[in-house]
Structure 1
């Protein structure tokens, strides 16, 4: 039997695992499960947290659905996951392997996710200026640690290690005392210089930042260690790569030519293309810019318009309508309601209603919230509103990455991907209206597949 690479993506709402056959580079088996890990915020600080025990439980269940005879032939394991967020744990006691060939979370904090809003604009403005081309925003690991330093310093005393959720899984699989992190995830934390691949140690030390919580940075594609125990049939001693960013892996899975731009609309939305090999990012942050430059592979960069508002804006609309209907005594499931809204919008080919869906703001403009305008008596139907909302998602992302910028970069086609695009025909119609380049589907961005492909190419 040919060896397999196990690709794992620990996403914001779900976990996905794939087995990639190394010879054919074909996906032999895969499984996805929702984590159902969100924790209700009762603090009033705009916290967005998840329960890591539920995430690890969903991961274990996912692996358990894969064919055990193939898991026994896994030659290496790669992980990607949601970026920016931070999880804290205690070295040497961050999990429990006593329940058989899987581990459970132990002695960890809650996962503070990339959607966390506790760091206000005022708070961020008082942080030291980073030595990096990337700005620091709420939800970024270092910003969150600074927040705890000011508001709950005793919280940090309980932990000795910090990392992203995918870094945590790598550490537990390998039995590491600390945390290793790639530049892809380190850049998403802030206070990391991608040109030197080093943390801003002097700047952070001057701000009395707990430097011991910073992970050790190692190159993307490197090996973190080997599995310390059998895991669902995967033998102990199997190499585990250092975790990568889910965004970079999703792009890797579907960008087949440098002239491609990838538009991904899932929970959030991103539009990206590859910069030339000799590109160097600016020396300092450009906080007002809607375009960021993310480290990719082989010292290259992606130009990225990363919107906080994508499929989550549509989901919020559905939740709002569902809540109204519940109050009126006419309940329907969210999934049923979503389908009916799409059908209404398909019967409404266009709308003069204008919806700006930036209900979460944007990192480059956090105070710009959602708006509905050009309201008249003739455009208040659900078809009009749903069509306008889908159009608004595209208007927002193309305002962040202007079409002229794509043309200057030589982009010849748009690769459309993501769960929201796959599910929503109206959204696909609006994508095809928004871009002069041809739009192709079928090469769906998939972080779990992408991380497995990266390891396969490195073998």
Structure 2
């Protein structure tokens, strides 16, 4: 009897969370939770337990925020009115995985863009903003698999200590030959979500000269990753959405000159201008933490101006 009563009590309890808009205050930080989270961190003891907790979104939206906020912060405000003009900018975020997409203020019912299986729609921090995005599982993780093998092969061939960094630096400074093109490599080591199959990667146009050059193979892998993203989000769909510029972002693009050059080359062929965000001459790459901090600061500005929830 007691067990039956306990089961009935469990059934009465709500099992699904309440749906609330992004930025809505859902409570305050628990002192117990704060102590367990802050243990060992530099910010331990600096965050009061009275801090309000707001409804969040994920890493993707934080990266998108960090890309667009330095360029046009007013269009990201949840209090803005009217259609946003993002000036034809899309973004390529290349980290462990890779994403190509753009912000829009229009409802996501555009058949010209949405009929591509690789393009998905995600919510954004503002209720009248959407992220249209092609997300690939093949990004910096593929390059991470290739780089150590390149270094080991070079060391085995030369019988000397050759670092992976030195190998990539040599590749970045050596231009490709127009008379003897690089092979076409599709480095899809991981099956894409929208692929519906297990094709794996492929290599076309492999020649004797290609086999003798690690640089040519590595350039082809980088270009193949960019081509894979463009197969998920075709250039025609971007142009139809009014996109003419691509912002290059992400840790892999920041660290890898070969990948940056491959992205710029491919987008130039598709008649898109590539943009690398810079601030005072220093490269300023967007990141998840930057976006989260920037959004928190924006909420504080709204509260101070009396436009947000205190």
Aligned to 2:168: 341
Aligned to 1:376: 207
Aligned to 1:39: none
Aligned to 1:437: 272
Distance in 2 (alpha carbons) for counterparts of 1:226 and 1:281:
40
Q: Deviations over 1:72-111 (max 9, x none)?
A: xxxxxxxxxxxxxxxxxxxxxxxxxxxxxxxxxxxxxxxx
Structure 1 residues 349 and 328, CA, compared in 2 at 3 Å: closer, same or farther? closer
Q: 2:233 aligns with which of 384, 401, 407?
A: 401
Distance in 1 (alpha carbons) for counterparts of 2:26 and 2:155:
50
Q: CA deviation at 1:364?
A: 0.6
Structure 1 residues 343 and 278, CA, compared in 2 at 3 Å: closer, same or farther? same
- Structure 1 residue runs of 5 or longer lacking an equivalent are 1-210
Written as runs of structure 1 = structure 2, the 5 A alignment for 1:42-441 is: 212=15, 215-229=17-31, 231=38, 232-233=44-45, 234-255=47-68, 256-257=71-72, 258=86, 259-280=88-109, 289-296=117-124, 297-321=126-150, 336-349=163-176, 351-365=181-195, 366-380=197-211, 381-435=213-267, 436-441=271-276
Q: Deviations over 1:266-321 (max 9, x none)?
A: 11111111234333488xx97x7011111123143211110111111110112334
Structure 1 residues 225 and 325, CA, compared in 2 at 3 Å: closer, same or farther? farther
Aligned to 2:75: none
Distance in 1 (alpha carbons) for counterparts of 2:153 and 2:174:
23
Q: CA deviation at 1:324?
A: 5.9
**Structure 1 residue matching 2:90: 3-state secondary structure:** strand
User: Which has a greater percent of strand?
Assistant: 1
Structure number with greater Rg is 2
Distance in 2 (alpha carbons) for counterparts of 1:416 and 1:236:
38
User: Which has a greater percent of helix?
Assistant: 2
Q: CA deviation at 1:216?
A: 4.2
Structure 1 residues 268 and 342, CA, compared in 2 at 3 Å: closer, same or farther? farther
Structure 1 residues 452 and 404, CA, compared in 2 at 3 Å: closer, same or farther? same
Structure 1 residues 328 and 276, CA, compared in 2 at 3 Å: closer, same or farther? same
**Structure 2 residue matching 1:414: 3-state secondary structure:** strand
Q: CA deviation at 1:362?
A: 0.6
Structure 1 residues 375 and 217, CA, compared in 2 at 3 Å: closer, same or farther? same
Aligned to 1:448: 289
Distance in 2 (alpha carbons) for counterparts of 1:385 and 1:318:
11
Distance in 1 (alpha carbons) for counterparts of 2:19 and 2:151:
45
Maintained 8 Å contact 1:221/1:454: no
Distance in 1 (alpha carbons) for counterparts of 2:65 and 2:156:
45
Distance in 2 (alpha carbons) for counterparts of 1:353 and 1:346:
19
Distance in 1 (alpha carbons) for counterparts of 2:21 and 2:254:
33
Distance in 1 (alpha carbons) for counterparts of 2:263 and 2:228:
12
Distance in 1 (alpha carbons) for counterparts of 2:56 and 2:156:
45
Aligned length: 243
**Structure 1 residue matching 2:296: 3-state secondary structure:** helix
Q: After superposing the two structures, state which structure 1 stretch, 338-347 or 374-383, moved more.
A: 338-347
**Structure 2 residue matching 1:235: 3-state secondary structure:** coil
Distance in 1 (alpha carbons) for counterparts of 2:240 and 2:118:
17
Maintained 8 Å contact 2:108/2:121: no
Q: Deviations over 1:157-193 (max 9, x none)?
A: xxxxxxxxxxxxxxxxxxxxxxxxxxxxxxxxxxxxx
- Structure 2 residue runs of 5 or longer lacking an equivalent are 1-13, 39-43, 73-85, 278-283, 303-310
Q: CA deviation at 1:448?
A: 1.4
Distance in 1 (alpha carbons) for counterparts of 2:217 and 2:57:
38
**Structure 2 residue matching 1:364: 3-state secondary structure:** coil
Identify the structure with bigger relative contact order (alpha carbons < 8 Å, sequence gap 6+): 2
Structure 1 residues 220 and 323, CA, compared in 2 at 3 Å: closer, same or farther? farther
Structure 1 residues 431 and 328, CA, compared in 2 at 3 Å: closer, same or farther? closer
